[in-house]
Amino acid sequence: MRDDARGRGSGGGNPAVQAQLPGGARPAAAGPVVTLQMFTSEQKPTWCPGCGDFAILNAIRQALVELQIAPHQVVLVSGIGCGSKLPDYLHANGFMSLHGRPLPVATGIRLVNPSLRVLVVDGDGDAYGIGGNHFLHVQRRNLDITHIVENNQIYALTKGQYSPTSEAGFRTSTSPQGALEQPVLPTRLAFTAGATFIARGFAGDPKHLASIIAAGIRHPGYALIDVLQPCVTFNKVNTYDWYRERVYKVEETGHDPQDRQAAARLVEEWGPRIPIGVLYEDHSQPTYESQVPGLARGPVVGRRLDDLPDETYARLVDQFR
């Protein structure tokens, strides 16, 4: 099972439907070579020119090509917000769900079909605001989900209210005298809550971002990738330049993400210097999926709906006598 859950790059498949097939398992297709073009969508992004979300979209495509994961083998789950429209601009399976709820939606997908790669792509409002409880609990589970947060430190789609990552004192329509709360530092929070992979990317460096996303997908377990995403329309403080002046790449400092001590320091760093890259990685934890008793015989959707043996059913009924 644990290996099953890691069957990436394989032909994927549609096990849900095999359930209806008398013949049982079906051979994986000899997949074509995955190209960038395979992900091209007819939908034109509605983002503002210059929006950081464009770079994130491209970086995701790059990473999928790098890992040779085809459009049918992946599901992108998002919330509601500017950034959460991303799955509409990419030819791949997607589920644009509710504001703040992509993590449990993704959890449900993984729990019944671990042969699908699952990426969550949402905003800072989704992930750290309304969806905070799911964020907290997903860290404790180590499901094999890659979580990419388009963190623009603002509620953009609703036209500019402060978000949980907005700096204290940040002025918006709902914080006219400046935000009174201390901001959430996602990397630190995830570290504390149990994440096994923590990274930060910057939309101003799409190549670097693509490599981080690929690393996150490769990581066997939950991976948080918080992406500094300039919102050119509503956030006039945290601009490309603002980030550019501050970011530095941790790999250039020789950082070893498996060094928990060093990681503990890096996840805290936010100020004149902001680390980007893979901050933390722990390979020692089993995935949640690999431990679920109900998955011992393979993905749920790969089985027939009437697979309950008559003996089992009779035993269940007899327990009520």
Ligand X SMILES: Cc1ncc(C[n+]2csc(CCOP(=O)(O)OP(=O)(O)O)c2C)c(N)n1
Please name the residues in contact with 37: beta carbons below 8 A apart, sequence gap of 6 or more: none
Cβ-based nearer residue to ligand X, 54 or 280: 54
What is the spatial distance between Cα 35 and Cα 156, in angstroms, rounded to a whole number? Answer: 32
What is the spatial distance between Cα 181 and Cα 163, in angstroms, rounded to a whole number? Answer: 10
Taking CB under 6 A as the rule, does residue 53 contact ligand SF4?
yes
What is the spatial distance between Cα 114 and Cα 7, in angstroms, rounded to a whole number? Answer: 8
Instruction: Tell me which residues in 46-85 interact with another protein (CB under 8 A).
Output: 46-49, 70-73, 75-77, 80, 82, 85
Taking CB under 8 A as the rule, does residue 292 contact its own copies?
yes
Instruction: Pick the binder of ligand SF4 from 5, 34, 51, 247 (CB under 6 A).
Output: 51
Kindly provide the b/e burial profile for residues 170-186, where b requires at least 16 CB atoms within 10 angstroms of the residue's own CB.
bebeebeeebeeebbbb
3-state secondary structure of 148: strand
- Number of Cβ within 10 Å of residue 249's Cβ equals 15
CB contact at 8 A, 296 and 1: yes
220: partner contacted, choices ligand SF4, ligand X, its own copies, none (Cβ within 5-8 A by kind): none
Taking CB under 8 A as the rule, does residue 174 contact its own copies?
no
User: What is the Cα 215 distance to its own chain's centre?
Assistant: 12
Backbone φ/ψ region at 99: left (φ over 0), alpha (ψ -120 to 50), beta: beta
The helix (H) or strand (E) run that includes residue 78 is: strand 74-78
136: partner contacted, choices another protein, Mg ion, ligand X, none (Cβ within 5-8 A by kind): another protein
Contact characters 76-115, Mg ion, x per CB under 5 A: ----------------------------------------
Contact characters 148-187, Mg ion, x per CB under 5 A: ----x-----------------------------------
Instruction: Tell me which residues in 15-44 interact with another protein (CB under 8 A).
Output: 15-21, 26, 29-35, 37-38, 40, 42-43
DSSP state at residue 171: -
Instruction: Pick the binder of another protein from 52, 58, 60, 113 (CB under 8 A).
Output: 113
Where does this chain bind ligand SF4 (CB under 6 A)? 47-48, 51, 53, 82, 152, 156, 231-234
Give contact residues for its own copies (rule: CB under 8 A).
130-133, 136-137, 140-141, 164, 176-177, 180-184, 188-189, 191-194, 288, 291-293
